[in-house]
């Protein structure tokens, strides 16, 4: 943590949910403390990369929009992830590239156009209050964020940044990385231990049906609706749950568990979404449809390493 903290932005209007997220809180899950971190690892990593920040730097995760920020100094930023109708002063703000903004400029987040979560990184990185080794903001646990208390941004908050010497210019993410989240997507799922306990028809349905993203979706988990999945195991003795676990409670409707999930749980699981599939799911609007695809471990590891190689 840098000793010098500068005010980068001031919040002139708070949206429904804007959270500071570094890579997440690790090494404390055995105490019941959740992982946190960016719901969309892909977009978050690109925002930091474009602004030349090292892996793990804290960026803002803006969900739904609504937020309005005023720059308190000249800054270099990058906006990635969802198109939330973001405006830089009175012009549409370009995403997936570096953008120089001047003191007094405004950034206004509108409403979701394409995807759900937008990431704002600033060259040098935001400077939050590290709690248990991370500034990741988890509202439910009252941990992290700018104040350390797990609060979503509020009107008049000063957003502190680290001083920066080099401000990158003209960086753009490759077009293939600039995701369109409106398309129906297929999510890679690594089958887990209880997969054999599901009825044959249910397994067929799990990987062939169109699943709809439910309204009940947040940083803890996303519920999917579709054919009822039947499992011979109703509940297990509670055990650790890893990122992307797809659990199936007795109502037969799967829930994919994301960054702020509880650390242990007792429903049978189909398996785990890969980290990139979980990222993609975090950008799905309620009502969007998707499919699940059984992935092989070799390919999943290769894909994940290839993605990470550019950043870490």
Partner 1 sequence: MKPSHLPCLERAGLDGWMVRLFDSIEENNLMWLTALARECEKAFGETLVDLVPSYTTLLVVFDPIRTTPWEARQQLQDILARLKPAEAGASGKLHQLPTWYDPETGPDLERVAGLSDLSVESVIEAHNSREYRVFALGFAPGFGFMGLLDQSLTCPRLDTPRQKVPAGSVAIAGQQTAAYPVVTPGGWNLIGRTPTRLFDRNLEGFSLLRVGDRVKFEPVDQARFEELGGDPE
Measured from the CB of residue 192, what is the shortest distance to partner 1 in angstroms? 6
What is the 8-class DSSP label of residue 133?
Answer: T
Give the start-end residues of each E strand in 218-288: 221-225, 239-240, 245-247, 255-257, 264-265, 269-273
138-177 residues in contact with partner 1 (CB under 8 A) are: 140-143, 148
Residue 310 as a binder of partner 1 (CB under 8 A): the answer is: no
Residue 243 as a binder of partner 1 (CB under 8 A): the answer is: yes
Measured from the CB of residue 171, what is the shortest distance to partner 1 in angstroms? 23
Distance, in Å, from the CA atom of 60 to the CA atom of 20, rounded to the nearest integer, reads: 5
Measured from the CB of residue 135, what is the shortest distance to partner 1 in angstroms? 13
Q: Which stretch binds partner 1 (CB under 8 A): 105-113, 157-165, 220-228, 300-308?
A: 300-308
Measured from the CB of residue 23, what is the shortest distance to partner 1 in angstroms? 11
Nearest to 48 by CA among 75, 92, 79, 18: 79
Binding marks (x or -) toward partner 1, 64..103, rule CB under 8 A? ----------------------------------------
Residue 241 as a binder of partner 1 (CB under 8 A): the answer is: yes
Closest CB to partner 1 among 125 and 191? Answer: 191
Nearest-Å Rg of the Cα atoms of the chain is: 19
Q: Binding partner 1 by CB under 8 A: which of 163, 184, 262, 287?
A: 262
Burial class (CB in 10 A: 0-12, 13-18, 19+), 261: buried
CA separation, residue 53 to residues 20, 69, 163, 196 (Å): 15, 21, 12, 44
- Evaluate whether 254 touches 247 at the Cβ level (below 8 Å): yes
Write phi, then psi, for 200 (nearest 5 degrees): -55, -45
Closest CB to partner 1 among 8 and 144? Answer: 144
Residue 272 as a binder of partner 1 (CB under 8 A): the answer is: yes
Closest CB to partner 1 among 92 and 264? Answer: 264
Could you tell me how many residues of this chain bind partner 1 (CB under 8 A)? 44
Write phi, then psi, for 280 (nearest 5 degrees): -65, -40
What would the DSSP string read from start to end of 30-46?
A: GGT----S-SSHHHHHH
Residue 3 as a binder of partner 1 (CB under 8 A): the answer is: no
Residue 245 as a binder of partner 1 (CB under 8 A): the answer is: yes
Write phi, then psi, for 191 (nearest 5 degrees): -60, 145
Q: Which stretch binds partner 1 (CB under 8 A): 6-14, 157-165, 211-219, 260-268?
A: 260-268
Residues forming the site for partner 1 (CB under 8 A): 26-33, 35, 131-132, 140-143, 148, 190-193, 237-245, 262-265, 271-272, 274-275, 297, 300-301, 304-305, 308, 312
């Amino acid at each position: 943590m840098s000793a010098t903290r500068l005010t980068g932005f001031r919040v002139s209007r708070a949206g429904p949910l804007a959270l500071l997220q570094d890579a997440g809180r690790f090494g404390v899950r055995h105490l019941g403390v959740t992982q946190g971190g960016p719901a969309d690892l892909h977009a978050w990593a690109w925002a930091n990369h474009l602004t030349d920040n090292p892996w793990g730097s804290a960026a803002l995760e803006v969900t739904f929009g609504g937020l309005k920020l005023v720059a308190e100094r000249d800054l270099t930023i990058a906006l990635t992830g969802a198109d939330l109708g973001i405006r830089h002063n009175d012009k549409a703000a370009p995403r997936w590239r570096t953008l120089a903004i001047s003191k007094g400029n405004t950034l206004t987040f509108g409403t979701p156009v394409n995807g759900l979560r937008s990431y704002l990184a600033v060259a040098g990185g935001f400077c939050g209050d590290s709690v248990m080794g991370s500034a990741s903001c988890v509202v439910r646990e009252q941990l992290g964020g700018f104040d350390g208390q797990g609060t979503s941004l509020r009107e008049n908050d000063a957003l502190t940044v680290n001083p920066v010497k080099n401000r990158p210019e003209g960086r753009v993410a490759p077009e293939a990385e600039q995701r369109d989240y409106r398309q129906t997507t297929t999510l890679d799922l690594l089958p887990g231990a209880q997969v054999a306990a599901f009825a044959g028809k249910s397994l067929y349905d799990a990987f062939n049906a169109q699943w709809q993203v439910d309204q009940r979706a947040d940083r803890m988990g996303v519920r999917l609706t579709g054919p009822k999945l039947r499992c011979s195991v109703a509940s297990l003795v509670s055990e650790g749950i890893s990122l992307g676990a797809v659990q199936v409670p007795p109502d037969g409707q799967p829930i994919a568990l994301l960054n702020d999930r509880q650390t242990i749980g007792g429903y049978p699981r189909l398996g785990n979404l890969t980290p990139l599939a979980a990222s993609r799911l975090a950008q799905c609007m309620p009502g969007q449809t998707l499919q699940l695809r059984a992935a092989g471990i070799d390919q999943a590891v290769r894909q994940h390493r290839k993605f990470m190689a550019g950043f870490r």
